[in-house]
Structure 1
């Protein structure tokens, strides 16, 4: 992309300079789950563990971003994702967990792995991306 600056000096348009820049595609964001804890505080889970009933009661969603300290910031919209528990998968359209998914999660025994996978998100550039999975242990 080339950017040039022109100015009007004494009624004459003069080229003040310019430069050529390389524009790169946005990098893929990191997916994570967000929910509210018992005190109403927002919690983000990139990996690790959650208390199943608290997670479900906290209106969980899946989102994607670069993190607060990243050099690049952009908003992404999660279009769909799947949770995998054992060999079974359960789909959701959008960023919110479906009622079926929340019912399954709330009944998981402590120590059960919950994999959020097949996460599809679109950024401000209009490109839909397949994001990496998120592994969570339900306590």
Structure 2
């Protein structure tokens, strides 16, 4: 079969136009649609592992992990911290009482530490308040 270049160019143009009109990529036609891959450091990754925070002199500074944590009746949420630059700091951690009302723990001070605090049957983000000299820390 002998086709001219104009005919082939016209057929290719029609196929491309049809693909654009139906929002189908000709290269992926016939393959199932896939969700775009999450970029490194996307939200799902930020909910795992240690978070960075800092403290300023004489002021409570708040830090949140920006991730939802689901609790259950009688559950306790764990918090831990470690200063990697600077001196000792004081930490207060967010928790929830039996009525699901938010409260802050008594301050714990030092260069590192951990605590478990009542969380209860709520879904919320973990938060800490930090006070001390200028310091940088990691917490989870």
TM-score calculated relative to the size of structure 1: 0.28
Q: Which has the higher contact order (CA 8 A, sep 6+)?
A: 2
Higher Cα radius of gyration:
2
Structure with the bigger percentage of strand: 1
Structure with the bigger percentage of helix: 2
TM-score calculated relative to the size of structure 2: 0.28
